[in-house]
Structure 1
Amino acid sequence: MKYGKQLRDEVERSFPEWRAEFISYKRLKIQLKLIDPGKSARKRPRFSIENLLDAGRFDVGFTRLLNKELDKVNRFFIDKEEDYVIRLKELQNRESNLECSTEMLNLQKEILDFHKEMVLLLQYTFLNSTGFIKIVKKHNKRAGVSVQLSFMPRVLEQPFFSTDLLYNLMTECKAMLHRLFLDDEP
């Protein structure tokens, strides 16, 4: 199965409400097809400033769209992470102020739902990261020059590519659940 179809199917199945926040892989492929492979692509392109400048004329639209998509994915991820930090603090406050077992059951359910949403965000980062890597490789093959040198380091440095904070939030959720499920009374 082609990656674009796989991505579309996964988004529709798992993330319908986040659909607009994913990499527009299809639009990038369409933009990529506008690059003339005859002029810039060779079996083994020689790296030179002339080749790089020549290829640049063909793929300005692609690069612009690629950067726009990266910013979109990054912005969504940062917003979600910020929301999750706030939400975790609220759940922790509720945990420390529990008064009855009904509240505990409700809190346990909310924490489980919250953890599930964070797992979805991890999957979101994986799918988008894979999409960016694949489309840059397709570009390199078609254009015959490597934007990977300039673009990949930028991708790897983006917040959506670094999930350390998200893993920390998930670990804290697990610790809260452990405390709540082990305690019979608040």
Structure 2
Amino acid sequence: MKFGKSLRNEIAKALSAWENEFISYKELKKQLNLIAQQAAGERIGFITLLDSELEKVNKFFIEKEEEYIIRGKELKERVANLESIGDRTQVKLDILEFHREMVLLLQYSVLNFAGLLKIVKKHNKKTGISISLAFMPMVLQQPFFITDLICKLLKECEVMLNQLFL
């Protein structure tokens, strides 16, 4: 199965609300095909689109991280101030949903990285000009690729759930 179709299938399954936040692999591929057919000036258009897609992915990822930090703090407060069994059950469900959303954000990160890697490899193959050495090390330093904070929040969720199930 082609990566673009695979990406669309993954999005449709679990991340449909985020569909427009992924890299536009199809648009990047179209721009890449223009490079192969026309002059080198189209290469600048591809690089510009690639940079803007990277910026879009980072912006979305950072917004979600900030949202999750706030939600994590709110959930900790709710756990600390539990009053009844009903509250306890609802907090467990809310923590599980929060955990699920963060796992989806990790999948978002992986899918976008894979898409960027594939489109850069396609560029190298079609044009004979390697942009991997310049582009990929920069990608590895982007916020969407550095998932330490999300992993920390996931562990905090697991600690809260352990407290509630004891």
TM range, smaller chain: over 0.9
Cross-structure match for 1:51: none
CA–CA distance in 1 between the matches of 2:142 and 2:150? 14
Residues 6-43 of structure 1 deviation map (CA, whole Å, 9 limit, x = unaligned): 0011111211110000110000000000013698xxxx
| Stretch deviating more after TM superposition (133-142 or 144-153) | 144-153
CA–CA distance in 1 between the matches of 2:20 and 2:36? 29
CA–CA distance in 2 between the matches of 1:112 and 1:16? 19
Contact 1:37 1:143 in 2 (8 A): no
**Number of residue-to-residue matches in the alignment:** 166
Contact 1:104 1:180 in 2 (8 A): yes
The correspondence for 1:73, drawn from 46, 51, 57, is 57
Q: Map residues 93-108 of structure 1 onto 2, 5 A cutoff.
A: 93-108=77-92
CA–CA distance in 2 between the matches of 1:13 and 1:91? 27
Contact 2:31 2:42 in 1 (8 A): no
Label 1:157 to 1:91 Cα distance change in 2 as closer, same or farther (>3 A).
Answer: same
Partner amino acid, structure 2, of 1:15: L
Residues 38-62 of structure 1 deviation map (CA, whole Å, 9 limit, x = unaligned): 98xxxxxxxxxxxxxxx5x340110
Partner amino acid, structure 2, of 1:21: E
Label 1:118 to 1:2 Cα distance change in 2 as closer, same or farther (>3 A).
Answer: same
Cross-structure match for 2:32: 32
Q: Which has the larger radius of gyration?
A: 1
Cross-structure match for 2:117: 133
Q: What TM-score, normalized by structure 2, do the two folds share?
A: 0.96
Q: Structure with the greater relative contact order (CA < 8 A, sep ≥ 6): 1 or 2?
A: 1
**What fraction of aligned residue pairs are identical, expressed as a percent?**
55
Cross-structure match for 1:84: 68
CA–CA distance in 2 between the matches of 1:10 and 1:125? 13
The correspondence for 1:178, drawn from 148, 162, 166, is 162
Which secondary structure state, in structure 2, belongs to the residue aligned with residue 29 of structure 1? helix
Q: Map residues 110-125 of structure 1 onto 2, 5 A cutoff.
A: 110-125=94-109
Partner amino acid, structure 2, of 1:100: S
Partner amino acid, structure 1, of 2:20: A
Cross-structure match for 1:48: none
